[in-house]
Structure 1
Amino acid sequence: MGKDSKPKDAGGKGKGKAKQGGSGADESASKGKGKSGKAAADGLGTCTYVKARHILSEKQGKINEAYKKLQDGWLSNGDKVPPAEFAKVLAAEYSECPSGKKGGDLGWFPRGKMAGPFQEVAFATQVGATSAPFKSTHGYHIILCEGRKN
């Protein structure tokens, strides 16, 4: 996954949860604190690096199937998905990216390294949370955010 010269809108069914605050992560930083002051506390939109795992599929149906497993296994109970389970149960089975063999692990990456929609969702997803499915120029993704730092 590299930087695209022309990022496309994330659009699609996964837009809601993953793309918080309208135009992406930077908007939450410019708005400042929300009602609870959470924007400053959780670092959304303000960090320089994110550590993430992902699932990439060319077909929307396959990514939706993976997301259904997430919902049935963890999300419906309000639980966070353990990175080891995400890697073993989902990424290894569903991801078509070479990183799928490593459990979808992308390691730490800075702003500006990933394609537009992918970067927006990765930097807008809270640590320990997974994004809803979304589309980028590479296909359909689900991201698990494992960490953030400056």
Structure 2
Amino acid sequence: MASTAHALHILVKHKELAEDIIKQLKKGAKFPVLAKKHSTCPSGKKGGDLGEFKRGQMVPQFDKVAFSGEILEPHLVKTKFGWHVVKVLYRT
């Protein structure tokens, strides 16, 4: 079982925007470009890169996707912070 993950994310307030971002990603848009444009999280300035983190460091909904969601696919996650588009780069 993986103990760390490395993920990118884009945090927005509205589900509709998050869904639109996923559609753009599936059409070939670059994650870092969309993160810089839309993310309300400070990580947006770094293209949404959260770096590597341990299991349990993120809120439970985010953690679940980070450690069980398909790698390199955009996922929609709702947390107390808003709507996240999450892309897991790898797990170790």
* TM-score greater than 0.5 by the shorter chain: yes
> How many Å apart are 1:137 and its aligned residue?
1.1
Counterpart among 61, 65, 85 of residue 142 in structure 1: 85
Instruction: Name the amino acid aligned to 1:58.
Output: K
Moved over 3 A (4+): none
Instruction: Give the gaps of 5 or more residues in structure 2.
Output: none
Point out the structure with the larger strand share.
2
Find out whether 1:62 has 2:5 as its counterpart: no
> How many Å apart are 1:125 and its aligned residue?
2.1
Counterpart among 123, 128, 142 of residue 72 in structure 2: 128
Instruction: Give the gaps of 5 or more residues in structure 1.
Output: 1-45, 75-80
1:86-125 deviations in Å (ceiling 9; x for gaps): 112x111121111001000000000110001010011112
Contact 1:51–1:145 under 8 Å retained in 2: yes
Contact 2:10–2:41 under 8 Å retained in 1: yes
Computing the radius of gyration from Cα coordinates, the structure with the larger value is 1
Aligned length: 92
- Scaled by the length of structure 1, the TM-score of the pair is 0.57
- 1:115 corresponds to which residue? 59
- Scaled by the length of structure 2, the TM-score of the pair is 0.90
Instruction: Name the amino acid aligned to 1:142.
Output: V
1:44-88 deviations in Å (ceiling 9; x for gaps): xx20000000010111222122112123x14xxxxxx8xxx2112
CA RMSD of aligned residues (A): 1.5
